[in-house]
Structures are given as structure tokens and as C-alpha cells.
Amino acid sequence: MPPDDSTVRRERRGRVLVIRIDREAKRNAIDRVTAHGIDEALNLLDDDDELWAGVITGTTAVFSAGTDLRDGAGRPTERGGEYGMIRRRRSKPLIAAVEGPAFGGGFEIALACDLVVASRTARFALPESRRGVIASSGALFRALRALPLNVAKELLITGAVLDADRGHQLGFVNRVTDPGGALAAALELAEDICASSPVSVAASLAAITAQHDAADAAGWELTAEAVERVRAGDDMSEGVTAFFEKRQPRWTGR
């Protein structure tokens, strides 16, 4: 299947759709075009009855560094929200296959998936506080759901890095592989899902999702309030400027 866009490639593997973010020169950071490509690929997964599961991955060196800080990720899409996927209501399971860093929004992409397969090169982090910004694509509540509370807090306020083995020990990562093996293991897991009734799978996921609806609504509202608080201060501008100037930020605390 030809890709919709050169930064997002998609491939059918039987009943499984593989979605690959392929922008390695930019560490697979999400810009407007890439977000649109993810959205189109997930629309296909949602709408094609012949597809029963999906896998989203990056390249062998990096999963995703999150939002492209220079160009931005564009406006949320109608069906998927941020990155074309963060607020999407899916009826089909989506697996993240992670090699290398999944930082910031890249981690939030993994948190938005149903299952996570990671190679031992995988690293998960939320470094937004080091840049004077905030995790705004679901991590403020999804990280607390996927990880123990104090671990999630540490990641959100220090920029600490979680490796694949630790993620597996904590229950966030479903399977750990040798380097280069995440996609193959994710496909194996997807095929295992496809041995189940797609009606049963969809009903199970819908029931699970519905239990979190109220909490998610509150989480998004609180995230918006936190974003506005950060935007109203001086540290956000300083943090982003320092990032591009490759220096330590000089925080004012305002």
C-alpha cells in the first residue's frame, strides 16, 4: 500500500495495519504533515472491516521525540485530536512497537495505545518540565493510570528516563525484546489478538474505555488549566529558547 505521506508509511500484514513514523532526521518529531499522515492511517484502521488490529512504530533508532518544537504539530484532527490519535475513540486494538527514545509526545503516543512492546533500546521520558512546558497530550492522567503514582510524578516533574525492563516490571510494557525486535514481537501479539473474535475484542475495549470517560474528561480539563498557567508565565519562552540555543535555561519561577 503506498503511503499517504513520506513521513508516515503504512503496510498491511494480513489483518494488521503497520503504521511507521519515518522522519528520523527530525527524530520522528510530529509536525503537521506527520500528524495528518497518522490520522489518515488510523482512519483507515478504524473504517476498513478487513483490518482487525494496528501497530504504530518509528524507525530502528527512535520511536518519536514528540512535537516538532520548531514547526509545531498542527491543529488537532477531527477524529484523532492531537497527532491524529491522542483523543481518538478506537474500536480496534493499537500496539506501540518502540525502539529507541519515546520522549514527550512520543511517550504520550505510547500511552494512548492499548499495548506496548519495547526493545531494550527503548527509553520513555516526559522532559517537558526541563523546557518550561507541560505534557499536554494525555500524560497528566494516563501516566498515572499506566504507572505507580510516585513513578509517574517523578517522570512528569524531573524528566527522568524509564527503560524497557523497568517499564515491564511496572506493568506498562507488555513485552520486552532484543534490539530491533519490537516490531516483529508486536506483529506476533497483533496476530494473537486477531485469533479472537473482533466483535468480542471491540466490545471489551469499548467497555474498558467507557469506565474511564469521566476521568478522562476531568483530565483534559485539568490539563488545559495547567497549560494556560504555563503559558501565562515567563519560563515557557525561556525554556524553548534555551532548547534551541543548546544551553541551560535560566528559570525565573514566574
Q: What is the mean pLDDT, run by run of 10 residues, along the chain of 254 residues?
A: 70 98 96 97 98 98 94 94 97 98 98 98 97 96 98 97 98 98 98 98 97 97 97 92 92 89
pLDDT attached to residue 6: 82
pTM of this structure: 0.95
Structural domains counted in the chain: 1
Q: Which residues are catalytic?
A: 108, 128
248 in a domain, yes or no? no
Instruction: Tell me the three-class secondary structure of the chain, residue by residue.
Output: CCCCECCEEEEEECCEEEEEECCHHHCCCECHHHHHHHHHHHHHHHHCCCCCEEEEECCCCCCECCECCCCCCCCCECCCEHHHCCCCCCCCCEEEEECCEEECHHHHHHHCCCEEEEECCCEEECHHHHHCCCCCCCHHHHHHHHCCHHHHHHHHHHCCEEEHHHHHHCCCCCEEECCCCHHHHHHHHHHHHHCCCHHHHHHHHHHHHHHCHHHHHHHHHHHHHHHHHHHCCCHHHHHHHHHHHCCCCCCCCC
221 in a domain, yes or no? no
pLDDT attached to residue 225: 97
17 in a domain, yes or no? yes
pLDDT attached to residue 5: 52
241 in a domain, yes or no? no
239 in a domain, yes or no? no
pLDDT attached to residue 3: 45
137 in a domain, yes or no? yes
pLDDT attached to residue 2: 42
111 in a domain, yes or no? yes
64 in a domain, yes or no? yes
Q: Residue 123: which domain range?
A: 8-180+194-206
CATH number at residue 102: 3.90.226.10
